[in-house]
Structure 1
Amino acid sequence: MKKLYLNTGGINTIFNDLKDSLNGTLTLENNQYNLSVNSKNANGVISGISLNKQISYFQFNIFFNQDIELSIESFVNSPILFTYCFQGSLTHSFGINGERKKIKSNQTGIIRNTSNINSVLHFEGYKHVEFSIICVNTHNAEMSENSRLFVDINKVFNNKSGHYAYAGQQNSKIADKIKEFHTVPQKGIVKNLLKNRILESVLEVELDQHTYGYAKDIKPIAIRANKQIEELKRVSNLNLLEVFSGVGQVSRSYLSKVIKEKYHLAFSKLYNQKLVS
C-alpha cells in the first residue's frame, strides 16, 4: 500500500505533486499538462488542462503497481469533482476509515468535500484504470461569465455536512461528449472555446438530471448545446484574419469579445501557465 497526498491548489501545483509522488516526467504544451509515468509505482499517462477559473479537466490512463491511497486536501472552497470511469474502477471515502463508494466502469461519481477531513481515492494494484475528472470551482460563481450554470451547480451539489458523494450509472450523452472533447480538431483559441463549451454542456446535463431526475427529457439541453458547438466549429473554419481585416490588428481579447457577443458563448481569458519544476 502506497499513500499519496495531493494539495488542491492550481493545476500546476496538482501536476507537480503527482510528478513527485509517482516519479513521472511532466511536460506543458499549449496549456495542457502531460505526466508520463514509468516507475515502480505506476505506468501510464495523466493529462490535464485548465480552461478558465471555473473548469479544469483531468484524464487518467494508468496502471498502478500496488494498492494506492490518494488523499486530496479539503477546504471550505474545495471544487466539485465530476468523475467518469471508463475502465477499471476507483473507490472514494471521506477519510481513510469513512464509508466507501465504488465508481465502476461506465459509472459517474460526483464528490464535494468542504469539511476538515480529506477525500481519499482508493485504487487497486495491478489493475488498469481509465477515468476523467471535470473539476468545477464554484467559489465566486456569481462573478463567472456563465454565472447561472455555476451558481446552480453550487446549490444542487451541496450538503450541510460538507460531504457530498454520489455514484450511479453514466449518462451515454455525457460519455459521447467526453469522446468529442478528446477529438476536437481545431487549434488555438477556438479549440479551447470548443472544449470549454463541451464541458459546460456536460455540466448542464448533470445539473438537469440531478435537479429534475432522470425521467426529465434532457434532449432540449443537448440540442441547444450542440447548436452552439456546431456554430463555433463553423466559425473556426473561416479565415478570421480576413473577416476582421477591416478593423486593423486583431487582439485575442477583441476576438473573444466578438465571439461571445455574436454567438452567445461564455469565454474566460486563457492564461499561459508556467511549469514550476
Structure 2
Amino acid sequence: MNKLQNEVLSIPSQLNVLQEHLEGSIAINYDIHTLTLKPGLGNGQVRYTNLQNGLQSFDFNFKLHKDIEIPIDAIASESLQFLYCLDGSCFHQFESHERFTQIEQFQTAVVHSDKGLSSKILIKKDNHLMLNIICVDKREYFEKFSKEDNQYDKKLQDLLSNIKTKSKHFHLGNYSLKIAEQLKLLFGIEHSNEISELLSQKGRYYLILAKHIEKFHAEIESNSNTSGLLKNELKMISEISDYIKKYPEIQHTIKSLCLESGLSPAKLQEGFKFMFDRTVSDFVRNVRLEKAEKFIVNTDLTISEIVYSVGLTSRSYFCKIFKKKYKCSPKEYKFKYTAAHKKGSMS
C-alpha cells in the first residue's frame, strides 16, 4: 500500500463528509487534519482535531463565495455539540423546523439530536466565519472515559441527563468572552510538529469545553444573562485586551483605556472582571509578567532590560511579583529553563 493510500485511509470519516460539502485538499499533522478550501468555493480552512476517542473539535475559519449548508449530525452523529462563534455569524436548523436560529459573534450554543434527526448549519456567503464546534460522542465518551469519579465528567453527565429525554435540544447561550480568549490562541496558529506543543493546544480545547459546560449549567440554573454588557461593549473589551497584550510597555491607565475604548470606567472594570476574573490593573500586570517570561526564556536581555521592555520601572518590584506568579526568581527561572532545555536536547 503506497503513502497516498495510507493517508486516505487515515482521514476521519467526519472530514470526508465535510469534504463533500466543502471541496478542498486535506493535510495531516499527527491528530490534526486541515481541509483547505478550493479558491472557487472560498478562502480559508477547516481544522479537525481528534482529542481522544469520542471527543473531537472542528475549527471553521473561512469566507465563502456562496451559501453552504453543513449537516452537523452527519459529522457528529449521536453527540452533544458545543458551538462558539468567534467571528461572523451562522444559522442552525433542525430538520423538523423551518426556522433558522442565528448564532452571533461571541455567542455559544449547545446542540443535541438523536440518530436520524437532521441538524445543520447554514453559512452565508461573503461572511468571514470563525466557528468552533466541540463534539462529545455519547456512546464513545461516556462509556469509556466517564467512569472515573471527577467533577468534570459528572457535570458533563448531568448536562446529558438534563436533555437526553428529548429527541432534539438547542440551547442558544449568552455572549461569552472567556471562551473567545482561549480560541484566539488556537485560531490562525501554525500547528507545530513538536509533540509538547500539540499536547498544549489539545489541552486548551479541554479548557474550552469545561467553560462551555460551566456556562450552560449557570444559564440553565439562573435563566438570566451572566453579564450586563452589550455585544458591542464585549467586543470593545476584547479589542482593548488585545491592545494591552500588543503594547504592554505603554503606561496603561483606566483613563487612557476609557478614552481608547469609549467605555466608562465602570463598564471597563465590569468587562475585565467578566472576561478575565481580574481587574484592569491585575490584567495589565499579568500581561507584563507573561511577556517578561517569554523574554527570559527566548532572549539574552538582562533583567533590567526586560523590566523596561514590559513597561515596569522597578526591578525589585518586578522580581517580587514574578516570584509570586512563577514561584522562583527570574534568574532561577532562566537557569531551570536552560537546564531543562539542554537535558531535553541531549536525550
The CA deviation string for residues 13-56 of structure 1, in whole angstroms up to 9 with x for no partner, is: 12222224333111112321111112433332111211211422
Identical-pair percentage: 18
Cα 1:26–1:215 change in 2 (3 A) is: closer
User: Counterpart of 2:126 in structure 1: which amino acid?
Assistant: Y
Per residue, is there more strand in 1 or in 2?
1
Q: Deviations over 1:172-228 (max 9, x none)?
A: 111112223456987533223323332222222222232244659999999xxxxxx
CA offsets 1:84-108 (integer angstroms, 9 cap, x no match): 1122211111116444211011111
* Cα distance in 1 for residues equivalent to 2:158 and 2:20: 35
SS at match of 1:73: helix
Q: Secondary structure at the match of 2:40?
A: coil
| CA gap 1:101/1:31 in 2 versus in 1, 3 angstroms | same
Residues 1:163 and 1:45: Cα distance change in structure 2 (over 3 Å):
same
The structure having more radius of gyration, on CA atoms, is 2
Residue type of the alignment partner of 1:172: L
Q: Does 1:69 align with 2:72?
A: no
- Partner of residue 167, structure 2: 162
Task: Decide whether aligned partners of structure 1 residues 73 and 212 sit closer, same or farther in structure 2, where only a CA change above 3 A counts.
Answer: closer
- TM-score, normalized by length of structure 2? 0.54
Between the aligned partners of 2:138 and 2:34, the Cα distance in structure 1 is 25
Alignment of 1:222-241 (within 5 A): 239=340
Select the structure that is richer in helix: 2
What is aligned with 1:120? 120
Structure 1 residue aligned with 2:183: 178
| 2:21 match | 21
TM-score by length of 1: 0.66
Gaps of 5+ in 2: 1-9, 220-224, 228-272, 279-324, 327-332
Structure of greater relative contact order (alpha carbons < 8 Å, 6+ residues apart): 1
Q: Alpha-carbon deviation of 1:73?
A: 3.4
Q: Give the number of equivalent residue pairs.
A: 228
Give the Cα–Cα distance (whole angstroms) in 1 for the partners of residues 274 and 26 of structure 2: 39
Larger CA deviation: 128-137 vs 210-219: 210-219
Q: For residue 116 of structure 1, give the secondary structure of its aligned residue in structure 2.
A: coil
1:210 to 216, 226, 231: 216
State the Cα distance separating 1:11 from its structure 2 match: 6.7
In the alignment, the residues of structure 1 paired with residue 18 and residue 117 of structure 2 have an alpha-carbon distance, to the nearest angstrom, of 20
Amino acid in the other structure paired with 2:211: V
